[in-house]
Amino acid sequence: MQLTTSQQYLHYIGIQQQSLQEDRKIFEYIFNDLMLNNEEFVAHIEEIFSNWDDDGEMIVQSIASFIRKPQSTAFQQIITADKEQFAVNLLKTVIDKEDYLLTLITPKLKNWDPERIALLDMVLMKLGVAELLYFETIPPKVTINEYIDLAKDYSTAQSGHFVNGILDNIHKELVEEGKLNKKDFRKS
């Protein structure tokens, strides 16, 4: 209702000859003045995207840039080739080594049945253990902290603590058994 009664909208629909400039103006008005200034809309976005506080400004800037120059925005390049390759390698590693990863994770669950663990927590633990074992350039502390943060942001309230405990125990065991082969580039 707020849109259809606004001066900007009435001006826009009254234009005889549409132009890209006028299209951009109405899109910017809708996005900036109606959507981003609407507390209910922003609350809904914050509910859906748990990292909105961190990433919201970047997203708003990206959308504004797209409205101004749609042809200059290359969404397929948002993720760099290196990051995409890392994600593909990590996923393939977890799939290929899943049975072994579970042999390391399951004993640490103590009285928990692996089938009753939150699916996302199990996925995060598999990813974390794979990173500890097979990605030699990532320091263990970085790996553990990243998966704790992911668990806190995307899983249950207790998941960060739970994932931390499991990954930390597995890390200590791998170090004791000499199974962790990490490169320390600071000493090179």
Residue type, 110: K
Within the chain, all domains assigned CATH 1.10.940.10 are found at 81-181
* pLDDT at 186 exceeding the cut of 70: no
Give residues with Cβ within 8 angstroms of 136, minimum separation 6. 181, 182, 183
Let me know how long the chain is. Answer: 188
User: With DSSP H G I counted as helix, E B as strand and the rest as coil, what are the percentages for the chain, rounded to 5?
Assistant: 75, 0, 25
The pLDDT value given to residue 6: 93
Please write the tens of the pLDDT for every residue from 91-138: 999 999 999 999 999 999 987 777 788 899 999 999 999 999 999 999
Q: At what angle do helices 98-105 and 159-176 cross, to 10 degrees?
A: 100
- CATH class entry, domain 81-181: mainly alpha
Please write the tens of the pLDDT for every residue from 137-153: 999 999 999 999 999 88
